[in-house]
Structure formats: structure tokens, C-alpha cells
């Protein structure tokens, strides 16, 4: 077994244990679907992604637009699902709309509008999560919770997009209580939006290598795991 395969197995074991603890998908409706594992492959080589694919991983997440597009094209012979999880500027939306399956970091109506306009009508709907700044950090992207209803209403009406849920990147902290508060806030926001706007969002993208158990306990449906699978972050493969 390769190192990446062993790491994937270890992460899947952690996810399964967290699900068994009983908190998975709390408040998001009937049934208990399995938490989806996104392998964050930013700065990692196409060869490393092929190794993860050989170990059964199918969903990968990238932070840098050009690096991600290059890998998507290079790995076109594989059946992979690609998620964009990095900051997205308006002049970078076209390649994301053309090549990715999911975008987790929509935090402005302008970005969503450009993605919708640039998504080919012949492709499947681009799956979208709204990034929420749950910790209120000035340096971090994400829509403020107070502005979320207006953004969700606008994005849900756009053609070529399907609004699937919410995403957050809270401040890093070893305080499990604070972690839980941030993740619970995102879950409550999703529940409120579904109720108030008549939406059926089903995705909470939250939790990384150091806090996935807390995120799953608070309802995460997707966790974004990089270093626990691929090791320490390297240098980007190409400029973003």
C-alpha cells in the first residue's frame, strides 16, 4: 500500500468513526448519507492525484485556478469530480465555469452572475456553495451572515447554477468548543435559509484535517482534507 493510499484509509476511518458518534448530518433532513471526502490536491502533482485515484478517491479540490485547470486537462482520462475551493476573482471565473463541477467559495452576487453566464448550457449545472465568514475575520473571504439571505435568493434564481449549500473556513483554533460553535452557526444558517426561502440545500462544506470530527458532529456533509492525505503543502504547480 502506498503512503497516499494508507493516509486515505486512515482519514476514511476517522470519518466513519465520527459518523458513528451520532452527529452526522444533524438537522439536514431524513436519512444519514455518508460524509463526502474531498481530497485537497493543491500544490500536489498529477501523479499524486493518480495515486489517490488508484486508492478509490474520486473527488478532488483545488485552490488555484490555473493549477487546477492544468490538472483537470492532464487527468482527463480519469473520471474525477473537481471542486474549486479557493478565493475567486471576477477575472478568473471563466476557466472555473468551464472546467470545474463545484465551486465552494461564492461570496458575491457578481461572481455568481459571471459563473452563470460563463457556464456552457451544454454542461451540467455548476454546483455552488456560498462561503460564509462565520468568524468575522476582516482578512478572510466569505459573505457576512447578515447579508446571506439576499445572496442566496439571488444565486438560487440564476440559470446554469445549482445552489447546494454553505461553506466556511473558521479561524484555526485548538478550542473544540469554539470549533463547534462556528460549525453549528453554519448549520443553523443553512436550516434558516431553507425554511425562509423555500430552498432545499443539502450541503455543508466544513471541516479540514485538524477538525473534521467536530465538523461532522455539527452536520458536515463534505470535509476538505489535504495534509492528512498528501502531506505538507508544497509550492503551487502554476500561478493562480
- Residue 76 · residue 54 · CB < 8 Å: no
Mean pLDDT of 100-104: 98
Domains of the chain: 3-229 (3.20.20.10)
Cα–Cα distance between 231 and 158 in angstroms, integer? 38
In this prediction, residue 206 carries a pLDDT of: 97
Cα–Cα distance between 12 and 148 in angstroms, integer? 32
For 33-77, how does the pLDDT look when each residue is reduced to its tens digit (9 = 90+)? 489 999 999 999 999 999 999 999 999 999 999 999 999 999 999
For 145-179, how does the pLDDT look when each residue is reduced to its tens digit (9 = 90+)? 999 999 999 999 999 999 999 999 999 889 999 99
In this prediction, residue 140 carries a pLDDT of: 84
Question: Helices 3-20 & 46-54, crossing angle to 10 degrees?
Answer: 60
pTM of the model: 0.92
Cα–Cα distance between 235 and 101 in angstroms, integer? 24
Q: Which residues contact 72 (CB under 8 A, 6 or more apart)?
A: 80, 82, 99, 100
Q: Which residues contact 195 (CB under 8 A, 6 or more apart)?
A: none
Average pLDDT, the chain: 92
Amino acid at each position: 500500500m502506498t503512503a497516499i493510499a494508507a493516509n486515505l484509509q486512515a482519514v476514511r476511518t476517522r470519518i466513519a468513526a465520527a459518523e458513528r458518534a451520532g452527529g452526522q448530518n444533524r438537522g439536514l433532513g431524513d436519512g444519514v448519507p455518508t460524509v463526502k471526502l474531498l481530497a485537497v490536491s493543491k500544490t500536489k502533482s498529477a501523479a499524486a492525484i493518480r495515486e489517490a485515484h488508484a486508492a478509490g478517491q474520486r473527488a478532488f479540490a483545488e485552490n488555484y485556478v490555473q493549477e487546477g485547470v492544468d490538472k483537470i486537462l492532464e487527468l482527463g482520462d480519469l473520471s474525477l469530480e473537481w471542486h474549486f475551493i479557493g478565493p475567486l476573482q471576477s477575472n478568473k471565473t471563466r476557466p472555473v465555469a468551464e472546467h470545474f463541477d463545484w465551486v465552494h467559495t461564492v461570496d458575491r452576487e457578481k461572481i455568481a452572475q459571471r459563473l452563470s453566464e460563463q457556464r456552457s448550457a451544454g454542461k451540467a449545472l455548476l454546483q455552488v456553495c456560498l462561503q460564509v465568514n462565520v468568524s468575522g475575520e476582516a482578512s478572510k473571504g466569505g459573505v457576512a451572515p447578515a447579508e446571506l439571505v439576499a445572496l442566496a435568493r439571488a444565486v438560487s434564481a440564476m440559470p446554469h447554477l445549482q445552489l447546494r449549500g454553505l461553506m466556511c473556513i473558521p479561524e484555526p483554533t485548538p478550542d473544540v468548543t469554539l470549533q463547534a460553535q462556528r460549525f453549528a452557526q453554519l448549520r443553523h444558517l443553512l436550516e434558516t435559509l431553507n425554511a425562509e426561502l423555500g430552498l432545499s440545500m443539502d450541503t455543508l462544506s466544513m471541516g479540514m484535517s485538524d477538525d473534521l470530527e467536530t465538523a461532522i458532529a455539527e452536520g458536515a456533509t463534505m470535509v476538505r482534507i489535504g495534509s492528512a492525505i498528501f502531506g505538507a503543502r508544497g509550492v503551487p504547480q502554476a500561478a493562480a
